[in-house]
Amino acid sequence: MNRRPKTLLLALAVAALLPLTACADASEAKPEEHTFEFTGTTLNVKAHGNPTDLIPADRTDVKVTRWFDTGAQVGSKKLSWTLEDGTLDLHAGCTGLADCEARFRVEVPRNVAVTRDGKPTDLKG
């Protein structure tokens, strides 16, 4: 019995999976920024498990900075940020066989109370 084809297939499979070992690192990513108009008194921040710094700032709008990196990617990235009805919804992730990492910084006007996923935080203007 010839084992050469099986060995060759195994070697090709390993070579194809090797790029998946690259790790994502958001600390090395170029930051992206978006500013949202905001007139409310309470902001609910939903970051879906991504690390998010909430910062009181001397501003009248909400500024979001996102760092996002993908290592190996066999799939697609899913990025979105919206502010509707007092909820800031921050999505950053991957689908399929992908490695990605994200973090956010949200600057909030000092007179706004902030909740994280509907739960109170210490951040108040």
What confidence tens digit (pLDDT) does each residue in 4-22 have? Answer: 666 666 555 544 554 554 5
In contact, 57 and 107? CB cutoff 8 Å: yes
Comparing 57-61, 75-79, 117-121, the range with the smallest average pLDDT is: 75-79
In percent, the amount of the chain with pLDDT more than 90 equals 49
Burial of 108 per CB tally in 10 Å (0-12, 13-18, 19+): buried
pTM (two decimals): 0.76
Check residue 101 and give its pLDDT: 83
Q: Do the Cβ atoms of 23 and 68 come closer than 8 Å?
A: no
pLDDT tens-digit readout, 78-112: 889 999 999 999 998 887 766 788 899 999 999 89
Comparing 69 with 35, which gets the higher pLDDT? 35
In 3D space, the residue among 86, 85, 51 whose CA is nearest the CA of residue 65 turns out to be: 51
* pLDDT tens string 23-53: 766 667 789 999 999 999 999 999 998 999 9
